[in-house]
């Protein structure tokens, strides 16, 4: 079965942007380092930025420093985690914005989305019907270095993961999202996700066992994949004209 490997979008301001699928044998130490730096930058902007509402803002470095300061054991753990997740069925899609020099030793990673198939019914477990989609992570690196604007990049990542992977349009996408933050809750609401009041996920823990240990409350949100894709393309019509490159 052919599998989408790269999806190219023509962003009206940044030009061509390509989202590429990660393969387990391509997850190097440097890729894992890029992922950690992206987490630090994205989480810092979401929860520690001066643009974050004061009532939910965290002190500078509370989360981000754990990822922006290089630690060889932590990077190795990240590499092992990504490789294992891909080998057990998860998909990682990554974005490098075109203004970044891709010939450098450690090119910047500007976006990432991870999904995992969820097989809750008998027919799904028997692979007789398409799995639901669990959205593990979606993040975009803030800052102007990657282009004049990041408007629409989160939608690009979500569109790729839902439209160009293995999931049927009638399936459900589920995401456990941070309850507080600068942009996250609004992003999911605008994309058509609704709160599941009957399912409360466990809080996410940062810096477990350390003095700066932190629990972040979560909400579970759900949507039909078709509805999310329609909402995204209604907002950014150029998403519908993506060019897809498949594996042989």
Domains of the chain: which residue ranges? 4-246
Average pLDDT taken over every residue of the chain: 88
Region 4-246: CATH code: 3.40.630.30
When mean pLDDT is compared across 68-77, 93-102, 170-179, the lowest value belongs to 93-102
Residue 241 has pLDDT above 80, yes or no: yes
When mean pLDDT is compared across 4-18, 21-35, 92-106, 134-148, the lowest value belongs to 92-106
Long-range interactions of 2-6: CB distance < 8 A, separation 24+ = 2/246, 2/247, 2/248, 3/166, 3/246, 3/247, 4/164, 4/165, 4/244, 4/245, 4/246, 4/247, 5/245, 5/246, 5/247, 6/244, 6/245
pLDDT in tens, 184-205: 999 999 999 999 989 889 998 8
pLDDT in tens, 9-30: 998 888 899 999 999 998 999 9
Q: How long a stretch of residues is the chain? A: 248
Long-range interactions of 122-130: CB distance < 8 A, separation 24+ = 129/168, 130/166, 130/167, 130/168, 130/170, 130/171
């Amino acid at each position: 079965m052919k599998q989408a490997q790269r999806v190219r979008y023509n962003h009206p301001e940044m030009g061509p942007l390509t989202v590429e699928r990660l393969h387990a044998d391509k997850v190097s130490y440097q890729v894992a380092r890029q992922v950690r730096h992206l987490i630090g930058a994205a989480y810092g902007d979401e929860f520690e930025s001066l643009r974050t509402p004061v009532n939910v803002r965290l002190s500078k470095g509370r989360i981000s420093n754990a990822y922006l300061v290089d630690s060889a054991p932590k990077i190795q753990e990240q590499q092992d985690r990504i490789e294992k997740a891909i080998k057990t069925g998860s998909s990682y899609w990554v974005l490098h914005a075109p203004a970044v020099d891709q010939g450098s030793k450690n090119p910047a990673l500007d976006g990432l989305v991870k999904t995992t198939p969820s097989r809750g019914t008998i027919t799904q477990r028997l692979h007789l019907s398409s799995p639901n989609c669990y959205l593990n992570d979606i993040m975009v690196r803030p800052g102007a270095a990657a282009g004049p604007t990041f408007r629409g990049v989160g939608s690009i990542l979500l569109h790729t993961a839902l439209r160009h992977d293995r999931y049927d349009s009638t399936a459900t996408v589920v995401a456990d999202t941070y309850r507080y933050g600068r942009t996250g809750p609004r992003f999911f609401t605008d994309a058509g996700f609704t709160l599941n009041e009957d399912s409360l996920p466990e809080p996410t823990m940062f810096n477990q066992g350390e003095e700066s240990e932190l629990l972040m409350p979560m909400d579970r949100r759900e949507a039909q994949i078709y509805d999310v894709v329609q909402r995204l393309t209604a907002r950014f019509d150029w998403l519908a004209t993506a060019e897809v490159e498949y594996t042989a």
